[in-house]
Amino acid sequence: MALPTLRIIGFIIGIFLITLAIAMVVPMATLVIFERTSDLPSFLWASLITFVAGLALVIPGRPEHVHLRPRDMYLLTVSSWVVVCVFAALPFLLTQHISYTDSFFESMSGITATGSTVLSGLDTLSPGILIWRSLLHWLGGIGFIGMAVAILPLLRIGGMRLFQTESSDRSEKVMPRSHMVARLIVAAYVGITILGSLAFWWAGMGLFDAINHAMSASFHRWVLHLRPNPWRTGNNRRCTGWRWW
């Protein structure tokens, strides 16, 4: 494989890693809101390591006039899943003190929206880890490769071929520009997540539980147990939940 092809693949993966590093701000903000800052340094280090790795891949820039062949697209798809999961496992490794194998399994389960978990006692986990698990499922539901559909046209690379390597859809494009498809998908995805959060909240969940369930369960799986709502007191602190495997 030519070096320019490897450089463009590394450039795109670097964008994914920078996106992942920025996404870790969400659990860090959650920890600050819940005043559970003991896990904050772990997320800071995980975000920093991920950001530096992504920056190292992006800084060399992208070569001009590079055309990715179908087999290059498949390599990009597989390597994106693996590399993103490698770095997404860092918060689990640093905060839960579990083996890297278990951490990688947990992140892969989230990014692929599988729903399996190796963690126990979910109702006692820190809110940062809970929202990180939900965020991984949320990102996995829309697909990092689906996000690339919006990025690749900016790099003058066809995005729909990469989208088809991740999905089973072999139909023709429904719109002339792939970034228009990606924009509609993201808008629908965010809208359904917001509506799901409001519906769970209206049904009696705490706001934090509602957001977690909407992010992780709006697409593919029910994976979270409701945890006692810290904003309620007395007999109202009940814990209920669902699983759908």
In sequence order, the 6+-apart residues with CB closer than 8 A to the CB of 173 are 160, 181
Are 144 and 179 contacting, i.e. CB atoms less than 8 angstroms apart?
Answer: no
pLDDT in tens, the chain (245 residues): 677 788 888 888 998 899 999 999 999 999 999 988 889 999 999 999 999 999 999 998 777 777 777 787 788 888 888 999 999 999 999 998 889 999 999 999 888 877 788 888 877 888 999 999 989 888 877 765 566 565 555 555 554 555 544 555 555 544 446 567 667 777 888 888 899 899 999 998 889 989 988 887 766 544 444 444 444 444 444 434 433 33
In sequence order, the 6+-apart residues with CB closer than 8 A to the CB of 202 are none
Are 221 and 245 contacting, i.e. CB atoms less than 8 angstroms apart?
Answer: yes
Q: How far does CA 223 lie from the centroid of its chain?
A: 15
pTM: 0.76
* CA distances (Å), origin 27, targets 40, 44, 61: 9, 10, 30
User: φ, ψ for residue 42 (rounded to 5)?
Assistant: -65, -45
As separate numbers, helices (DSSP H) first and strands (DSSP E) second, the chain gives 11, 0
* CA distances (Å), origin 74, targets 100, 168, 173: 26, 13, 19
Domain limits, the chain: 3-173
